Amino acid sequence: MKSIALVLGAIFSAAVSAGPADYVYTPAVEYGEREIDFKFGSGKPPAGNKQQADSIGFGYGVTEFWFTEIYLKYAREGSTGHHLDALEFENKFQLTETGKYPVDVGFITEIEIPRQNGNAYEFRFGPLLQTELGKLQLNGNLLLERKYRGNADSDGGAPHNTEIGYQWQAKYRWLREFEFGLQGFGEMGKWNAWNSRDLQNHRLGPAVFGKIGLGNHQSITYNAAWLKGASRAAPNNTFRMQVEYEY
């Protein structure tokens, strides 16, 4: 219980990040909305090659509380070529009516299926929280991730440990077309035995957001952030962005 309390506190006071293209989930679902979603990210770990990740996805608001999306995920590391890395299936559930309670609550699940045999399958899940203070919107997400290894692994397919991480976001809703704020991402290691501070990955930085109406129920939504490493294991600089065409 003490570890869980510490994580919940960190969501709102600090900066799971599996890749540079990760984005902050929000709990709201819009019934009937369709979207084409592009994400991109780039960063260099302190010990390792520069990493680049991007994805293209299609999503649909199936009901008033369920949004589902499927992605093709691409990756590049160092001098290796840009290649299809995985297929991801994401489902988001809105658990409370927007604005009815002081905090809006949702839940996210993601399954990532690797393209290459023997690579780990990944399952990520966790609660999504959002609240409004005037024009300020605050988001905090607690995420658990577990990897399952393929048959080619030396341990015969034994599961990884369950790891814990978080995302947070503070956004000032200035104009519909342009909003600004901060974003943060982090991962601490095993959920019940965190890594030492030097091995944890924390990063945070300024972000911009906006939604541009195109008429006839169509719009472009964007967000981007420049994240600075806040721990030794984090990249010094990470750039991430997301653009959605909604219709």
Average pLDDT over residues 90-104: 97
**What per-residue confidence (pLDDT) applies to 159?**
55
13 pLDDT higher than 50? no
Q: How far apart are CA 13 and CA 3, in angstroms?
A: 15
**Mean model confidence pLDDT for the chain:** 88
Among all chains, which residue has been given the structure tokens 């590391």? 77
Q: Which residues contact 155 (CB under 8 A, 6 or more apart)?
A: 149
- pLDDT digit string, tens, across residues 205-217: 999 999 999 999 9
Identify the CA nearest to 228 among candidates 217, 218, 239, 219: 239
DSSP string, 143-157: EEEEEE--TTSTTSS
Confidence band (pLDDT; 50, 70, 90) for 226? Answer: very high
Average pLDDT over residues 33-52: 91
Q: How far apart are CA 70 and CA 55, in angstroms?
A: 10
More confident residue, 160 or 245: 245
- Domains (range + CATH), the chain: 2-246 (2.40.160.40)
Sequence-ordered alpha helix ranges (H) in the chain: 2-11
* Amino acid symbol at 79: S
Paired sense of beta strands 179-190 and 218-229, if any:
unpaired
Identify the CA nearest to 64 among candidates 31, 107, 26, 32: 31
**What per-residue confidence (pLDDT) applies to 71?**
96
Confidence band (pLDDT; 50, 70, 90) for 198? Answer: confident
Task: State whether residue 198 is helix, strand or coil.
Answer: helix
Identify the CA nearest to 179 among candidates 210, 134, 221, 223: 210
- pLDDT digit string, tens, across residues 50-78: 889 999 999 999 999 999 999 999 999 87
pTM: 0.85
**What per-residue confidence (pLDDT) applies to 181?**
98
Q: How far apart are CA 214 and CA 49, in angstroms?
A: 40
187 pLDDT higher than 80? yes
Burial class (CB in 10 A: 0-12, 13-18, 19+), 237: middle
DSSP annotation of 97: -
**What per-residue confidence (pLDDT) applies to 126?**
98
More confident residue, 236 or 150: 236
Between 28-37, 113-122, 222-231, the lowest mean confidence (pLDDT) is in: 113-122
Identify the CA nearest to 92 among candidates 109, 115, 72: 109
157 pLDDT higher than 50? no
Identify the CA nearest to 39 among candidates 199, 234, 240: 240
The H or E element containing residue 99 is none
* Amino acid symbol at 244: E
DSSP annotation of 230: -
Confidence band (pLDDT; 50, 70, 90) for 158? Answer: very low
Task: State whether residue 96 is helix, strand or coil.
Answer: coil
